[in-house]
Amino acid sequence: MQATINRISAESMRGHLNFLASDLLEGRDTPSRGLDLAAEYIAAQFRAIGLEPAGNEGYFQTADWNILKKEIRRRPGAAVPPPEPEPATPTIVRNVIGVLRGSDPALKDSYVLVTAHYDHIGMKANAEGDKIFNGANDDASGTVSVIELAKAFAGMKERPKRSIVFMTFFGEEKGLVGSRYYGKNPIFPIEKTVAGINIEQVGRTDDSEGPQVASVGVTGFDFSEVGAIIKQAGDKTGIHVWKHPVNSDRYFGASDNQALADQGIPAHTISVAYGFPDYHGLGDEAHKIDYDNMAKVNRAVAVAIEHIANSAVAPNWDEKNPKAAKYLEAWKQRHTAK
């Protein structure tokens, strides 16, 4: 593993992030030209790394945004926008998915998900001067982390026993749309998916509650055994992994891990800063990222992924935690159905 985590490079992530959070991509709104450019860029990195394409169109799991918008309107509590004319052609949006196949004859058909969302909130209407929400920390930082982790694992001489799926989602900012779409239309069987680590806001250390250096929080820390696995990995690599007394549980449903947990997968989000000064602001730009710290955090994540991918025993939801009950029930339904 030492050789693997040594391949995680702050400068490599700086290069990827400076493109993904550049003005050229115009804030990566869903849908938009900038989002399409980001998807193509991520797919190109997966291809260069040597991941196997896992979408329905190469590295892309495609969906029609026009259809998804109708589903969003039908959700309980959703605001009902004014009717729009039916578009003549589909508006295609994409999850980007690559897989590193496992080495064990039996365990290679089980999967660990490493995910992030690559969309952001686009541009500020009717603004003069800077109007682009670049989304460097939210969540280009998570996206480049997925790319870098994929590169690190793809370089291993002996691959982990389980397969590792590297995936970036569209539409998180519109209500976890891309991850919900995957949950309903999984590429890999849900009952064979043992865990998910979602990466969100790991680039900024200037948390609203004070600097967070060599530190990472886990949402729903004690909902499943995944939190303890990440903590053990942090202990080995010098990263303080902790449960925020309020935000750990509060934000469990705020990122793409929620859509996976709803399917029964023990999935959690890691974040360095739960709140930072430029959250959804025009100032969330690439030069404010602490790349060295992001590399350290991702080395801990890599150790956690390796542990899950090589363990014969999959992580479980905590049966004693009432907040995990509905996810445990979803897990049981998936497994008894099979």
Per-residue pLDDT of 235-244, as tens digits, reads: 999 999 999 9
pLDDT interval class at 324 (50, 70, 90)? very high
Q: What is the mean pLDDT of residues 76-85?
A: 62
Per mean pLDDT, which range of 158-162, 173-177, 275-279, 334-338 is the poorest?
334-338
Q: What is the mean pLDDT of residues 66-72?
A: 89
pLDDT interval class at 128 (50, 70, 90)? confident
Find all residues with CB under 8 Å of 48, minimum gap 6, and list them. none
Cα–Cα distance measured from residue 158 to residue 88, given in angstroms and rounded to the nearest whole number? 49
Find all residues with CB under 8 Å of 72, minimum gap 6, and list them. 78, 174, 175, 177
Q: What is the mean pLDDT of residues 57-81?
A: 82
The predicted-structure confidence for 211-226, as pLDDT tens digits, reads as follows: 999 999 999 999 999 9
pLDDT score for 135? 98
pLDDT interval class at 321 (50, 70, 90)? very high
Query: Looking at the predicted structure, is the pLDDT value of residue 74 above 90?
Result: no
pLDDT interval class at 71 (50, 70, 90)? confident
pLDDT score for 126? 84
Query: Crossing angle for the helix pair 10-20 and 141-154, nearest 10 degrees?
Result: 140
pLDDT score for 179? 98
Q: What is the mean pLDDT of residues 313-324?
A: 97
Mean of all residue pLDDT scores within the chain: 95
Neighbouring CB atoms inside 10 A of 88's CB total 6
pLDDT score for 209? 93
Query: Looking at the predicted structure, is the pLDDT value of residue 337 above 70?
Result: no
261, two tokens: 């947990």
Q: What is the mean pLDDT of residues 166-192?
A: 97
Cα–Cα distance measured from residue 330 to residue 332, given in angstroms and rounded to the nearest whole number? 5
Q: What is the mean pLDDT of residues 24-36?
A: 98
Query: Looking at the predicted structure, is the pLDDT value of residue 154 above 80?
Result: yes
pLDDT score for 136? 98
Q: What is the mean pLDDT of residues 127-148?
A: 96
140, two tokens: 């280009």
User: Which 3-state string (H, E, C) describes the chain?
Assistant: CHHHHHCCCHHHHHHHHHHHCCHHHCCCCCCCHHHHHHHHHHHHHHHHHCCEECCCECCEEEEEHHHHHHHHHHCCCCCCCCCCCCCCCCCEEEEEEEEECCCCCCHHHCEEEEEEECCCCCECCCCCCCCECCCHHHHHHHHHHHHHHHHHHHCCCCCCCCEEEEEEECCHHHCCHHHHHHHHCCCCCHHHEEEEEEECCCCCCEECCEECCCEEEECCCCCECHHHHHHHHHHHHCCEEECCCCHHHHHHHHCCHHHHHCCCCCEEEEECCCCCCCCCCCCCCHHHCCHHHHHHHHHHHHHHHHHHHHCCCCCCECCCCHHHHHHHHHHHHHHHHC
Query: Looking at the predicted structure, is the pLDDT value of residue 72 above 90?
Result: no
